[in-house]
Amino acid sequence: MPATSVSEKSVDEEFYSSTPEGYKTGKTKYIIVIGSVMSGVGKGTFSSSLGMLLGCYGFNVAPMKFDGYLNYDAGTLNPYRHGEVFVLDDGTECDLDLGTYERCLNKSLTKANYLTAGKIFKSVIDKERSGQYMGRDVQFIPHVTGEIKVLLRTLAMKSDADIVLVEVGGTVGDLENSYFIEAMRELRHEEGDSNFCAINITYILQPQSLGESKSKPAQLGTRKLMELGIRPDVVVCRSENQINTSIKEKISLFSDVDVDKIYNLWDTRNIYEIPLMLKDMGMDKAVFDVLKMAPKTSGEESLSKWKEFTDKAKVADKEVVIGIVGKYTNVHDSYLSILKALEHAAPYSGARARIKWIESTDLEDKKLAVEDALKDVDGMIIPGGFGKRGVEGKIAAIRYAREKKLPFLGLCLGMQLAVVEFSRDVCNLEGANSTEFDSSTKHPVIDFIPEQVELVKQSKYGGTMRLGTYTAVLQSGTLASRLYGGTSASERHRHRYEVNAEYINMLEKNGLVFSGRSPDGKLMEFMELKEHPFFIATQAHPELKSRPLNPAPLFRGLVEASMQHAQAR
């Protein structure tokens, strides 16, 4: 099946074929989620919650996130600007909302579920350069919009989806979204009203100085959406507090949407309850009504498992304090998957994880003493990251955790720095370091993965790391094998550096245990210390595969060890 189909009628007619070979109109329904007023109000959380709810009724839901930036993917984006980079099994570096989809839908996604303007334009230009447009002048309509529709329909076919759920990043009125919204207008016309549902997520302002809700921005945002040719079928009003009926009536007047299809989602402390809230509101029935479809199953079994998890979170009454030592601590979305993994793991131990943010640069610059920063925490995480800033502060924190028997979990860079700290302070390798931070170090205990050397010489960065899911072979009898319940672990990676093989024997002789290795034995995947209640690190990012109904083993282990540490204090 070709990814796209360029029709010969593109030569003599204005049309462009946006239908892949074998595609059947009506087999797949499309739900489009578009925001107005402002971004950052929870479109991703809503979309994933709705997808999860529809999945409970037996439907195969395939999500897609569109981001309007010209980057090909999220791999080179700064965490300060865009939050964490989420990595899929196939190595795709993408928006953090893909992580939200995976956690709610409890399924692994692929590059087909993620779309950027950069990907669209590259595909169009590649076709133009290879002559596939047969001499036509290439235009936004029909070629760019046609490419978008091809990608959506290809996703529908490859995933055998009953429903493709598309989240449009940003807001209505953003220039970079205009052609995508136009493609959605065309899609509705081609697929038919009964196969298309447009949901507008708007925001109701509640200025403290006024003490009341103001719907005018929401009215204007909805009107702008309609000017672009998208008539919403459902409107979701996000707000800080619950709104009254008169606000819904005003929105109804401006949107041609009946009041009974205008919903209010106000801020809640537990976002995992949102799928249940949507069901209680009747959102599922509204979507079924628009799409002229009926549930395949009652959904009770799947929803009951989800409710069991939310109930565990409600009754958890033991608090553990987890210190996260990083350099992006002012932007919590930079560590979103770590926070979620802790949220998933803690309820299974009857606990709540309270985060203490520790800025590693403050430790490095001696603005904050390590002892003061960590004296009141029950466990510690060193997350992944890039660049030299704050590294020595993280190494100081690792030394404290090792010497004071504080439960420790190192992720990616966290493992590399744990090896550096052990090399310096246990093996007495003065100046030991990673070549990422000191290219002339006498003891490069962490160095490039061999295949990365040539790429770095060529200054190639985007999509060139060790990316995606890899399997590690775990040593029997180790903490890693006990936590994973076997002798293998499959986790996602995103890094360029590894433990230098020349130092492995020395490190092991001094007591460091490499409890997990690549199947060929060449790459060190897990490390731990025997004479410590819980000191483990991995080159991988296990937080990326954590799910509410299936928490990451390393995070469950950290929470349990932290609870024991708290009791012993």
Which candidate, 114, 101, 110, places its Cα nearest to that of 55?
Answer: 101
The answer for residues whose C-beta is within 8 angstroms of residue 278's C-beta and 6 or more apart is 49, 50, 53, 263, 284
d(CA 495, CA 237): 40
DSSP assigned state of 211: T
Burial class (CB in 10 A: 0-12, 13-18, 19+), 359: buried
Amino acid found at 429: L
Q: Are 111 and 90 in contact (CB under 8 A)?
A: yes
Per the listing, tokens 């930079």 go with 334
3-state class of 116 per DSSP? strand
Cα–Cα distance, 225 to 216 (Å, whole number): 14
Picking from 176, 185, 183, the residue whose alpha carbon sits closest to that of residue 142 is 183
Question: Hey, is 157 helix, strand or coil?
Answer: helix
Q: How far is Cα of residue 378 from the mean position of the Cα atoms in its chain?
A: 27
Using CA atoms, how far apart are residues 79 and 149, in angstroms rounded to an integer?
A: 30
**214: DSSP letter:** B
DSSP state of 135: T
Task: Classify residue 233 by its DSSP letter.
Answer: S
Q: Which residue has the tokens 């990814």?
A: 3
What single-letter DSSP state applies at residue 550? B
Tell which residue, 389, 397, 385, has the closest CA to residue 421: 397
Q: Which among 276, 198, 201 is positioned nearest to 29, based on CA atoms?
A: 198
Spatial neighbors of 308 by CB under 8 A, at least 6 apart, are none
Catalytic residues: 412, 541, 543
Q: What token pair was written down for 497?
A: 């550096």
Q: Give the pairing type, strands 29-35 and 163-168.
A: parallel
**How many angstroms from the chain centroid is the CA of residue 462?**
18
Nearest to 421 by CA among 438, 445, 447, 453: 445
